[in-house]
């Protein structure tokens, strides 16, 4: 299983690459366990400076939630949880010397601020996440926004606020086209409706017709991972809110003026968002480890890659349950359960490599939730225990969706601090504007 340093005299160096749902939970939990003598250090590497719960990125993009209030700064979290934070982007891996290679950090004008570095590890956890998949569609990278990271979501929000100012002052219409009828696209469409209604309340835009939203899905229905009744109800609700929903429509090209569909028709849109498909960073396929066509690292039921000292979790990992033909989906639920497994399994492996290897990752389907801003929410229940794939909707589903986020905060900060943040958010929702106006 590789040389172990986790003895009383040589505890292990654990490096986690990626500060998303799984990576930050792992670094925070293991950083607090360093006093057991098994772990010398825990280091988190991320190219960004702060974490935002990924299922919330669509609210940051729409400006219906304040980015500053919802983000977790890595440096502050590192100080509280006892791990080290290293800014940088992983570009390669030296498995012989067991070092992660980080690319140089450059300024916007091209100056090199920090040279490339090497971070040594004994156990490496890759939690790099994923991004939207353009499937090679012409014009997407040049003409479409993506909202799969904190920075990209904030960039889209800045742009849409500028467009709203122009709409208000010049009397121009504003239409947003969203490609992808999964949870991200559906939830973003609903948040943009809420943005438009709030903006009209503040006098930022005029009649409702000046703000149009089009949602384009290549498949036969929205939310293909949900039951058909939830898909149909979601489509009806979005259309009732004024969203134009197009299904069975594949985008063949994106332009500066809109989208060109498979049959040659054009959807005019001043802003275009690509929220279709998922793929892991391409450089993962260059590490000498087994990967899928989407560059995900293939892991076994210990969440290990081909290299026994390298683990992968979350969206960048591909794990197929016994008896199943498809790998687990790239969701926050899967990432969290994999994080909980490694938080318990890694110390066991460090303590006793043979005993630790007997523990296997077991996934429990807890269902799925989708929230349509403040208008509605739907949920499918897990298929275990008293639940057998039933559905919920309305306020109960909204509260369940909110509870997932608050549970994530509690895991990072602890019960009392997480609860206090919930209270602060409730107060801010009554005292501050309902949308970002600055």
pLDDT, tens digit only, all 438 positions of the chain: 444 454 445 889 999 999 999 999 999 999 998 777 889 999 999 999 998 888 888 989 988 877 677 788 999 999 999 999 999 999 999 999 999 999 999 988 889 999 999 999 999 999 999 988 999 999 999 999 999 999 999 999 999 988 888 877 777 788 999 999 999 999 999 999 998 887 766 565 544 446 899 999 999 999 998 889 999 999 999 999 999 999 999 999 999 999 999 999 999 999 999 999 889 999 999 999 999 999 999 999 999 999 999 999 999 999 999 888 899 998 888 999 999 999 999 999 998 877 666 689 999 888 888 889 889 888 887 665 545 667 888 888 888 877 877 787 777 877 767 666 767 676 666 656 555 555
pLDDT single digits (tens) 176-199 = 999 999 999 999 999 999 988 877
| Strand ranges in 192-269 using DSSP code E only, listed in sequence order | 211-216, 244-246, 251-254, 258-261, 266-268
- The CA-CA-CA angle for residues 188, 296, 402, to 5°, reads 35
Say what percent of the chain tops pLDDT 70.
87
E strand map for 197-345: 211-216, 244-246, 251-254, 258-261, 266-268, 271-274, 297-298, 310-312, 317-318
* Residues 173 and 167: beta-carbon distance below 8 Å: yes
The Cα–Cα gap between 297 and 316 comes to 6
* H or E stretch at 67: helix 67-70
- Cut 0.75: pTM above it: yes
CA pair distance 378, 399, nearest whole angstrom: 11
Report the interhelical angle of 183-201 vs 228-240 (nearest 10°): 20
Q: Which residues contact 139 (CB under 8 A, 6 or more apart)?
A: 253, 254, 255
């Amino acid at each position: 299983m590789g040389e172990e340093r986790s003895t009383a005299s040589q505890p292990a160096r654990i490096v986690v690459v990626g500060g998303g749902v799984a990576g930050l939970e792992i670094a925070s939990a293991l950083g607090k366990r360093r006093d057991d003598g098994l772990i010398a250090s825990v280091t988190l590497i991320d190219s960004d400076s702060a974490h935002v719960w990924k299922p919330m990125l669509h609210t940051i993009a729409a400006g219906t939630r304040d980015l500053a209030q919802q983000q977790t700064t890595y440096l502050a979290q590192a100080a509280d949880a006892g791990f080290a934070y290293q800014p940088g982007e992983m570009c390669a891996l030296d498995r012989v010397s067991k070092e992660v290679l980080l690319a140089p950090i450059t300024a916007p004008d091209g100056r090199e601020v920090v040279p490339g570095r090497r971070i040594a590890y004994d156990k490496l956890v890759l939690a790099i996440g994923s991004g939207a998949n353009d499937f090679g569609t012409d014009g997407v990278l040049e003409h479409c926004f993506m909202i799969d990271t904190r920075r990209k979501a904030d960039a889209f929000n800045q742009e849409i606020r500028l467009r709203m100012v122009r709409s208000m002052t010049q009397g121009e219409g504003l239409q947003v086209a969203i490609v992808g009828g999964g949870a991200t696209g559906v939830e973003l469409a609903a948040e943009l409706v809420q943005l438009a209604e709030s903006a009209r309340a503040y006098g930022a835009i005029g009649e409702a017709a000046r703000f149009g939203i089009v949602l384009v899905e290549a498949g036969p229905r929205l939310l293909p991972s949900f039951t058909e009744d939830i898909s149909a109800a979601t489509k009806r609700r979005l259309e009732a809110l004024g969203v134009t929903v197009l299904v069975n429509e594949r985008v063949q090209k994106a332009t500066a003026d809109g989208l060109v569909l498979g049959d040659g028709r054009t959807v005019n849109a001043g802003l275009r968002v690509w929220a279709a498909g998922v793929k892991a960073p391409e450089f993962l396929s260059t590490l000498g480890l087994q990967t899928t066509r989407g560059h995900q690292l293939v892991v076994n039921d210990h969440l290990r890659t081909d290299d026994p000292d390298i683990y992968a979790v979350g969206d960048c990992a591909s794990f197929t349950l016994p008896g199943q033909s498809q790998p687990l989906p790239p969701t926050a639920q899967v990432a969290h359960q994999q994080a909980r497994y490694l938080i318990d399994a890694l110390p066991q492996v460090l303590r006793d490599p043979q005993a630790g290897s007997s523990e296997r990752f077991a996934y429990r389907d807890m269902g799925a939730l989708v929230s349509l801003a403040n208008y509605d929410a739907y949920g499918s229940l897990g298929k275990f225990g008293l639940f057998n794939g039933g559905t919920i909707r309305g306020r109960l589903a909204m509260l369940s969706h909110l509870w997932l986020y608050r549970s994530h905060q509690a895991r990072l900060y602890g019960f009392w601090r997480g609860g206090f943040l919930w209270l602060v958010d409730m107060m801010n929702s009554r005292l501050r504007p309902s949308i970002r106006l600055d």
